[in-house]
Structure 1
Amino acid sequence: MSTTWHSDDDPRCEPPKGGGAWFRVIRRGLPLAVVVFGCLGLLLVVRLVERPIFGLRRPITPWITQFVCISALALLGIRRSTVGKPMSGHGAIVSNHVSWLDIFSLNAPQRIYFVSKAEVAGWPGIGWLARATGTVFINRDRSEARAQAKVFERRIAAGHRLLFFPEGTSTDGMRVLPFKPTLFQAFFGNGLEPGVRVQPVSLVYHAPEGEDPRFYGWWGDMEFGEHLLKVLAAKRQGRVEVIFHEAVDVAASGGRKALASQCEQAVRRGVGAQRDPVT
């Protein structure tokens, strides 16, 4: 069964209209492509040296990824602000999921590794970038929970801070869906060191003035290319807030369902504080 979230009125992404719109697409899109794919080439070259020396540990390439994400938001014209601070030490980040822009928004203030559904690895463009930056690909299947836990343990032991979206799908950004507890089970294996924490993060996108509040949301049957063009063609851009909440100690959380619930409530409070909550 598909986990894709649909609203009652999924808006269509209209193609850019007029010379001005296509000029903005080129003015923003061309430098964005140069930065993203140029730095991807640099990352792959650096990784050729980094991998045999450090193995899973990546002391250099995450800085390239973070630079790309900061630059991407700047080139798009999307302003960003942060509240709170990313946690230190071993663990993971969980967030609500709104858009493909989340990759840039969440990676700009911190160095992280995304956890993504397995089919993303085969997507043109996005899949290449995801693999190059160390994304963990998983199947959301309870029967694979033990194997996934081992992958999480190895990555966290290597100093990676993982990020996943417990909603399991993206939304219009106006709501937070219930957090699925399945992936949280990976933090209760015997292979993890004591002191592992999970930090909830709220993502709040503010649409450009005069646009639908769901402008940056990417959900339902929207095509990536169509949504990308819509964002590139916008006359003006909005902003994104990244709200870091207090990290939750895994050992003291009371189990995967309790941990998922605590993180969900923190994210809901962060989103609800910026707009009227929608359920």
Structure 2
Amino acid sequence: MTAWESEEGYLPHKPLGVGGWMRVILRGVPLALLVFGCLILLLLVRMVEAPLFGLHRPWTPYITRFVCRNAFRILGIGFSSRGRPMTHRGAVVANHSSWLDIFTLNARKNVYFVSKAEVAKWPGIGWLARATGTVFINRDRREAAAQKKVFEDRLLAGHKLLFFPEGTSTDGQQILPFKSTLFAAFFDERLREEMHIQPVTVRYIAPQGEDPRFYGWWGDMDFGPHLLITLGARRQGRVEVVYHPELVVSDYTSRKALAEAAETSVRSALVVAQ
């Protein structure tokens, strides 16, 4: 999958300065303690949870939610949401524009991300992804059947899987066409009659005076510099999550029709915002 690139290019690099580096330390240290301290706690709880419940995770997702909600408090980024997260079995689909999406989409609802297999090997992020139950998928057709089985088993276990149908991240100012590939699993005879899909729109509002793309992380942008810029910002913006009405899989005749309906819902909130 080719990474998306903006016609406007990347944001110009701004030196952090002394004040910026102070903010990096004052925000970064508590954030690291929160994330990795709770990661240790999660792993300890999982040692008990896994033998008792197997795929089911009745306890550890609440640790993840605690971390993600408080991460925004430490960063100073405002967080708000509209709509009601679904309670039915199924999955969540959302637009993708930043590494902050991990915190944003976990902050209010227990979800399990679906991610490309390479992420599992990334330092830091990969460890967190594996610990929190992320489903990793390869783009190898020879593994498609096995991966579809994993996908279906997790859904039947009651996990609300979250994936990004755009297939890549953007600058947060547009929605790319949704790819229908992963929607195919929901049409399996074991799933179709009881699965629901909830479209979610994530909107990042940049700090006052900053480029609207401030929180966007796309293309060849490195994670480290973007993290430092976010931590060192003198002013912070906010993020809004919009939970749209659920889509009932059995109401749709094909994965493409379902993908198009989900895309329309997600796109609607971003268009209204602009």
TM-score by length of 2: 0.97
CA contact (8 A) 2:77 2:236 kept: yes
CA contact (8 A) 1:179 1:260 kept: yes
CA contact (8 A) 1:205 1:216 kept: yes
Aligned to 1:3: 2
CA contact (8 A) 1:118 1:137 kept: yes
Aligned to 2:168: 169
Superposition deviation, residue 130 in structure 1 = 0.1
SS of the aligned residue for 1:273 comes to helix
Structure 1's 118 and 107: CA in aligned 2 closer, same or farther, altered over 3 A? same
Aligned to 1:82: 81
- May I ask how many residue pairs the two structures share in their alignment? 274
SS of the aligned residue for 1:176 comes to coil
1:42 aligns to 2:41 (yes or no):
yes
SS of the aligned residue for 1:156 comes to helix
SS of the aligned residue for 1:92 comes to strand
State the distance in 1 between where 2:194 and 2:156 align.
12
Aligned to 1:198: 197
CA contact (8 A) 2:92 2:162 kept: yes
CA contact (8 A) 2:192 2:250 kept: no
SS of the aligned residue for 1:216 comes to coil
**Offset from partner CA, 1:177-231 (integer Å, 9 cap, x none):** 0000000001111232732100000011000000000000000110000100000
CA contact (8 A) 1:12 1:222 kept: no
CA contact (8 A) 1:111 1:161 kept: yes
Aligned to 1:71: 70
Higher mean alpha-carbon deviation, 39-48 vs 11-20, is at 11-20
State the distance in 2 between where 1:143 and 1:168 align.
20
State the distance in 1 between where 2:55 and 2:70 align.
26
Aligned to 1:125: 124
Structure 2 unaligned blocks of 5 or more: none
CA contact (8 A) 1:149 1:189 kept: no
Aligned to 2:60: 61
State the distance in 1 between where 2:176 and 2:139 align.
17
Superposition deviation, residue 270 in structure 1 = 1.0
Aligned to 1:116: 115
**Structure 2 matches for 1:179-190, cutoff 5 A?**
179-190=178-189
SS of the aligned residue for 1:82 comes to strand
Aligned to 2:217: 218
State the distance in 1 between where 2:235 and 2:109 align.
26
State the distance in 2 between where 1:130 and 1:100 align.
12
TM-score by length of 1: 0.95
Superposition deviation, residue 253 in structure 1 = 1.5
Superposition deviation, residue 135 in structure 1 = 0.1
Superposition deviation, residue 3 in structure 1 = 2.1
Aligned to 2:92: 93
**Offset from partner CA, 1:252-271 (integer Å, 9 cap, x none):** 12210000000000001011
**Offset from partner CA, 1:68-104 (integer Å, 9 cap, x none):** 0001111111101111010012000000001000011
Structure 1 unaligned blocks of 5 or more: none
Structure 1's 145 and 101: CA in aligned 2 closer, same or farther, altered over 3 A? same
Letter in 2 for 1:146: A
Q: Percent identity?
A: 62
Structure 1's 264 and 142: CA in aligned 2 closer, same or farther, altered over 3 A? farther
